[in-house]
Structure 1
């Protein structure tokens, strides 16, 4: 049964094919029984909501066609598995520091299957790396690592002693260290 609001736009031909005439030209009006099959045919190739709607609008029409197309694509398992690829933000270049041990990058990885964590510190200028393996993570352990392990060389000791106030440490904002 055709709604009275749209009946004036629809003409039925001798072949019992109903056509909706509108600003887009003539489109075939699809009965309820054939809508699901028509949607699936339009969505072959799994090209997303916009292209599925476009393919439907070129040839066919029924009340709520856009919403039906959106619902089909959103519930399509193949489209959900593959899904749209999220846009990656461009990599931002960090400005190279004036000298070594001015800007440090620190990151904590884990826990690994062994229950251990890996704490890494990298100097942005020289790319020097210091790595420590931890059984557990606390703020006090991280501070001790900075003071003892990572500042053990003569150069690091001098930097720690004289340039401490100018050192900038950049962390990944990942796993927080826990205070005991």
Structure 2
């Protein structure tokens, strides 16, 4: 096989199931004795996979998927038709014996169907029932599970008989009735789901249970009636032993002893609506999509705007700073504001920036109502300016101006030295210093929601 300059493939060996170790050892010794395999110290290795054949024996297979992915395939051209015609022109009737290639292929593939049987991987084979007799299992383990009391176990049979859906199943099992197909179609999804598993349903002391087959520990599960589901959910989530665990742990605890149609959905809804969890736990909400990127290609294509403050009130009665940054040129403007209401911000924007430099194509702000309200949108619509806003709780969406805000605050802390009322006099120096700062390149990308 030709693999080019690819590095040797070495796969980690998979763990053999404990019940198959002796059988695997016997199979390997047989292959060694017949010289089908031999020991090797090669840098290449592939992981073996044990599969169960239809007759119950073990087939020892090798996983060559990684090796095949780097192997360059060889070409096996089909003989040309004219060569075949020339070979068969002296025969009146052509048979497989007349062609050495076909004869050899027939010999190789004649026993292919006998050698290759239908195999089922061990990981997906059906779980067989253990030797333990589940009919001899009592319900004491369910009483001691801390999620249901002994009195509730005693009354479980009566609760199931009062449940309209479970009552029908119990009657079918007790009387050994095989309902018609159309009758099952008219039943609820819960009855259809449980009746499809009728061979695993069993009546134990008058209580409907479900035989859970497990390769390690088979057990009986209680089929819970609709009236007791909320009580069991409360005991599996709200008690001190449950510790208000999340959805996954609550579902796993329920699956240890109980079963009903829609168990997962009911458990998820119960945990989501738990008042204690919602008040005391941090929300684990992931963003629905990654933030996109925006590049400015010309000056005044996108103007970033933000309000810095509140700061200490200056001698001019100003407490806020309106910061404007052009994304392409990094040109920055600052204007002191006595307050941050919409009228004050809009008037300063029109008189201080637009009247001197013109209207930008876009204005990008955060979601504050003073810069993203109806009045500000009407002003942008009148001036034919596209108004955009940041993603909630993502300051990086307005990173151009946020970075300048940090520089301004650093300058105020470094140079005012307790004279906060003189911050307006420092504004011009900060603006000039920021303008003279070196930028890496024009058109720095900025993140925003898609």
What range is the shorter-chain TM-score in?
0.5 to 0.7
Distance 1:141 1:96, change over 3 A: closer
* TM score, norm. by length of structure 2: 0.29
* C-alpha displacement of 1:75: 0.7
User: Unaligned regions of 5+ residues in structure 1, if any?
Assistant: none
Larger strand proportion of the pair? 1
RMSD of the TM alignment (CA)?
A: 4.5
* C-alpha displacement of 1:112: 7.2
1:69 and 2:267 equivalent?
A: yes
From 104, 117, 121, the equivalent of 2:303 is: 104
Number of the residue aligned with 1:56: 254
Number of the residue aligned with 2:282: 82
Contact 1:97 1:124 in 2 (8 A): no
**How do 1:28-47 residues align onto structure 2 when only pairs under 5 Å count?**
28-29=221-222, 32=228, 35=232, 36-39=234-237, 46-47=245-246
Post-superposition Cα deviations, 1:77-109, rounded to whole Å, max 9, x if no partner, equal 2355222223154222112223x3442112345
Contact 1:27 1:61 in 2 (8 A): no
State the structure with more CA Rg.
2
**How do 1:89-128 residues align onto structure 2 when only pairs under 5 Å count?**
89-98=289-298, 100-108=299-307, 116-128=319-331
1:20 and 2:210 equivalent?
A: yes
* C-alpha displacement of 1:124: 0.2
Query: Looking at both structures, which has the greater relative contact order when contacts are Cα pairs under 8 Å and sequence separation is at least 6?
Result: 1
Number of the residue aligned with 1:129: 332
Contact 2:244 2:277 in 1 (8 A): no
Larger helix proportion of the pair? 2
- State the distance in 1 between where 2:349 and 2:245 align: 53
* TM score, norm. by length of structure 1: 0.60
- State the distance in 1 between where 2:276 and 2:364 align: 39
User: Unaligned regions of 5+ residues in structure 2, if any?
Assistant: 1-157, 162-166, 174-200, 377-450
